[in-house]
Amino acid sequence: MIILGISAFYHDSAAAILVDGDIVSAVQEERLTRKKHDAGFPAKAISCALCEAGIKLQDVDYIVFYDKPSLKFERILKTYLTNVPRGFRSFRIGMPPWLRQKLFLKRVILKELKNSFGEVFKNPIVFTEHHFSHAASAFYPSPFQEAVVLTVDGVGERATTTVAIGKGNKLDIVKEIHFPHSLGLLYSAFTHYTGFRVNSGEYKVMGLAPYGEPKYKDLILEKLIDVKEDGSFRLDQSYFNYMTGRTMTNKKFSDLFGHPVRKPDSEPLTQFHMDIAASIQAVVEEILLQMTRDLATEYKIPNLCLAGGVALNCVANGKILRDKAFKDIWIQPAAGDAGGALGAALAIWYSKLNKPKKIYCSDLMKGCYLGPKFSNDEIEQQLSEVGAVFETVSDSELIKKTVKQLIDNKAVGWFQGRMEFGPRALGNRSILGDPRSVDMQRILNLKVKFRESFRPFAPSVLREDVNTWFEIDYDSPYMSIVADVQKNIRCKISESEKSLFGIKKLNVKRSELPAVTHVDYSARVQTVHQDTNPLYYALITEFKRITGHPVLVNTSFNIRGEPIVCTPLDAFKCFMGTKIEFLVMGNCIVDKKHQKNYLEN
Amino acid sequence: MREIVVLIIFTLVYFFILFPIGLTLKVFKIDLLKIKIDKTAFSYWEKKTDK
């Protein structure tokens, strides 16, 4: 039984393939079209996922789309009715695509498949609810037989927050909070207010928060949102504009905080914006903690699964874990809409076809390495075609040479095995560095990423050693949990260093691992496991043998504004367009100083 | 030309169908989206009924 799950037409289109319940492949369209957050029909992702699974489109028994357009349309109509006479402009612009395309999605999918694959798909095309797809993506691959499943995002059809109970192969949504009341949209409103792009800049607000004080937390809780004891909430819509307008917030919102919306190009970030970021982060954390505590008491189930865009807030996830209301938590790594494709496919297998949920000691995501892989022959061929100078070495030599470069404070492009699914690079499409280096943060940002980042890079640490270096002793293979560095490796900060402002604070050495330590001593930890990524595990083990530190800096292999690299050619182009000094792809090593200069263009 | 026709149709639909229905809902204080904050409510969770 082969099931193809699709998410598309809003943001982060993706395709996922299940073969007899086994997650065989999952790919985001952006990686293949090279268009960040590509929301188009995922024709390339489908083709790639099918190819990875070694099957043809006609072998697929079910295609499932991750939400139900008719329910969404109903919510949109209700929104217009509620807001008359406001919203005419939005109606005029928003309605035609619905009537032309979005409402008749089955027809659109068939047409797109015919265009891309030249054949008519004859088997069923079905739809699952948006939040059910998220809940399924969180529960079914989790290692739990029973769990409370919380999904929190901007909005699906109507729901913005849902609670489901998963038991065996049964998953039932039991309660919901509906649009326009949404934690995701509240966070996005502040993302807009602080001058970042909605739907992609939220992580910047999270990264900015540790520089500020949550001075406006009480004001937000008093004016913008009414939160009940159980964590359920409603937003005061008189401050927001997202129901009918083209912006997230209105003048009343700006007046409440005494500043206009920051203009991203001309207005610098000030302490005010940092305090605002700290405040909304604190509010969201408090609400999520209230919610999870109440759910733990109500359902008396020790396990919690999380998904939805808000579950990408790894700072909040860390607090939920440390709060211990639930004994164990598992977070879908592709928590955003891309993961909906996988969830939709899982929903059909377990819920519709009633197949039993198997339980293993770990989850079913295979380390999230679900994308395309390239053999050494393919890598060599692609490198030769562009005239790259490279050498092919054995596995052990590969590791020794890479570690030497890392110790020499070089930025290393590391391209191995199957590409990751979801927003994070987890050691197969990564740029690596030495976390002990005080300069590494700056080197990677300015020479490789061409940006300034509020957040330091993430540490990849051997699972066995995580608790020696970080205040966490828990699996975090998908970089979805933030924890503090251990107190014994922290450095004393002088008064003059304390008084630094903004990003300058980040350059102060705060721990033995300065490149991965944030200004509040937090780090977005990735635990590396031998069973899911043996080569990366071996690399960090060798780095530990020589330096005593079982940690590497891991940042995604891309430059600002581009998706993470997918093919060896993407990686080589990124390598040549940046100051990455050393590129390791499969068993091929490419040293920048041996490349002909003209290739740099 | 086609765009102008579409614009006219959607303007007519909005002002002759949506507008009067929306106004009627307002007059009868029907809150389709449950927008209002209710300080006296115990919880804002809504039971999922249409499983």
One domain, residues A340 and A488 = no
Which pLDDT score, from 0 to 100, does residue A597 have?
63
User: For residue A69, is it within any domain?
Assistant: yes
User: For residue A558, is it within any domain?
Assistant: yes
One domain, residues A476 and A540 = yes
The answer to whether A27 and A371 are in contact (CB under 8 A) is: yes
pLDDT tens readout for residues A557-576: 998 889 999 999 999 999 99
Whether A228 sits inside 8 A of B46 (CB atoms) is: no
Chain A residue nearest residue B42, CA to CA: A228
B5 touching chain A per CB within 8 A: no
pLDDT tens readout for residues A396-452: 999 999 999 999 999 999 999 999 999 999 999 999 999 999 888 888 888 787 777
Which pLDDT score, from 0 to 100, does residue A326 have?
98
One domain, residues A346 and A435 = no
Which pLDDT score, from 0 to 100, does residue A355 have?
96
Which residues have a Cβ under 8 Å from the Cβ of A530 and sit 6 or more positions away?
A537
Q: What is the mean pLDDT of residues A344-348?
A: 98
Whether A176 sits inside 8 A of B41 (CB atoms) is: no
Q: Does the structure's ipTM exceed the value 0.95? A: no
Whether B37 sits inside 8 A of A230 (CB atoms) is: no
Closest approach of B6 to chain A, Cα-based (Å): 8
One domain, residues A340 and A293 = no
Whether A91 sits inside 8 A of B25 (CB atoms) is: no
**Facing residues of A527 across strands?**
A461
Read off the tokens for A170. 């049964």
pLDDT tens readout for residues A479-526: 999 999 999 999 988 888 888 877 778 888 999 999 999 999 999 999
A179 touching chain B per CB within 8 A: yes
Q: What is the mean pLDDT of residues A577-583?
A: 92
Mean pLDDT, chain A, as a whole number? Answer: 94
Number of domains in chain A: 3
Q: Where are the domains of chain B?
A: 1-34
Instruction: Give the three-class secondary structure for A236.
Output: coil
Which pLDDT score, from 0 to 100, does residue A600 have?
52
Q: Which of A 50-109 lie inside 8 A of B, CB atoms?
A: 77-85, 88, 91-92, 95-96
- Domain carrying residue A87: 2-141+335-366
Q: The CATH number of the domain where A535 resides is what?
A: 3.90.870.20
Which pLDDT score, from 0 to 100, does residue B47 have?
93
Q: What is the mean pLDDT of residues A320-347?
A: 97
Q: What is the mean pLDDT of residues A532-540?
A: 97
Q: What is the mean pLDDT of residues A530-538?
A: 97
Query: Distance between CA atoms of A187 and B20, rounded to whole angstroms?
Result: 34
| Cα pseudo-dihedral A100, A106, A112, A117, rounded to 10 | -160
User: For residue A168, is it within any domain?
Assistant: no
Query: Distance between CA atoms of A340 and A343, rounded to whole angstroms?
Result: 5
Which residues have a Cβ under 8 Å from the Cβ of A109 and sit 6 or more positions away?
A6, A41, A63, A65, A121, A125
**A599 — pLDDT class (breaks 50, 70, 90):** low
Which residues have a Cβ under 8 Å from the Cβ of A601 and sit 6 or more positions away?
none
pLDDT tens readout for residues A208-252: 999 999 999 999 999 999 999 999 999 999 999 999 888 999 999
Looking at A215-336, list the stretches that DSSP marks H as alpha helix, in order from N- to C-terminal side: 217-219, 251-257, 271-299, 314-323
Closest approach of B15 to chain A, Cα-based (Å): 9
One domain, residues A228 and A285 = yes
Whether A78 sits inside 8 A of B6 (CB atoms) is: no
**Residue with the two structure tokens 């080197």:** A443
Q: What is the mean pLDDT of residues A45-73?
A: 96
State the CB neighbour count (10 A cutoff) for residue A425.
24
Nearest to A88 among B6, B14, B43 (CB): B14
User: For residue A156, is it within any domain?
Assistant: no
Read off the tokens for A153. 């995002």
The answer on pLDDT for A351 being more than 60 is yes
Q: Give which of A260, A282, A266 is closest to A194, Cα–Cα.
A: A260
One domain, residues A88 and A210 = no
Chain B residue nearest residue A94, CA to CA: B10
Contacts of A174 in chain B (CB under 8 A): 47-48
One domain, residues A272 and A192 = yes
One domain, residues A189 and A285 = yes
Which pLDDT score, from 0 to 100, does residue B50 have?
63
* Largest pairwise CA distance in chain A: 70
**Could you please report the per-residue DSSP string of A299-313?**
H--SEEEEESGGGG-
Whether B22 sits inside 8 A of A234 (CB atoms) is: no
Q: The CATH number of the domain where A32 resides is what?
A: 3.30.420.40
One domain, residues A362 and A498 = no
Looking at A224-265, list the stretches that DSSP marks H as alpha helix, in order from N- to C-terminal side: 251-257
State which of A331, A355, A390 marks the end of a domain: A331
Read off the tokens for A511. 């721990």
Work out whether the CA dihedral A356, A357, A358, A364 comes out positive or negative: positive
One domain, residues A326 and A340 = no
One domain, residues A258 and A393 = no
Q: What is the mean pLDDT of residues B34-49?
A: 93
Query: What is the reported pTM?
Result: 0.95
Which residues have a Cβ under 8 Å from the Cβ of A437 and sit 6 or more positions away?
A409, A443, A514, A515
Read off the tokens for A419. 């590409």
Residue A510's Cβ-count burial label (10 Å; 0-12, 13-18, 19+) is buried
Query: Distance between CA atoms of A573 and A386, rounded to whole angstroms?
Result: 10
Closest approach of A101 to chain B, Cα-based (Å): 15
**A26 — pLDDT class (breaks 50, 70, 90):** very high
One domain, residues A354 and A277 = no
